[in-house]
């Protein structure tokens, strides 16, 4: 009985870790697309170099691309009312 509960606990923790990794990768992919970077490279970095790849992406990611004006990043000064 104890072995069965231990096995279920390990399985439960493993599933939770996989779900957390999947959600992290999904968030990084959408963030990479919004910033105009390769989602495949970001996914590879986050999965294979976890957690250092995730930390590096969060620290060194570029500014987002403003889709309405092309490739210029969003600047608040451009949208302020004078």
Return the pLDDT at 68.
66
Q: Is it true that the peptide bond before 76 is cis, omega within 30 degrees of 0?
A: no
For the chain, what percent of residues have pLDDT higher than 70?
Answer: 84
Q: pLDDT category, 66, cuts 50, 70, 90?
A: low
- pTM check: above 0.85: no
Q: How far apart are CA 82 and CA 39, in angstroms?
A: 38
Question: Encoding tokens for residue 31?
Answer: 């963030």
Return the pLDDT at 4.
85
Taking the CA atoms of 41, 47, 51 and 54 in sequence, report the sign of the dihedral they define.
Answer: positive
Residue 5 has pLDDT above 80, yes or no: yes
Rounded mean pLDDT, 59-77:
72
């Amino acid at each position: 009985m104890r072995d069965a509960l231990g096995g279920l606990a390990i399985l439960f923790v493993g599933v939770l870790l996989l779900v957390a990794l999947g959600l992290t990768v999904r968030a990084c992919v959408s963030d990479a697309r919004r910033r105009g970077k390769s989602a495949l490279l970001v996914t590879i970095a986050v999965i294979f170099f976890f957690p250092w790849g995730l930390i590096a992406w969060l620290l060194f990611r570029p500014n987002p691309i403003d889709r309405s004006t092309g490739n210029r990043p969003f600047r608040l000064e451009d949208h302020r009312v004078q």
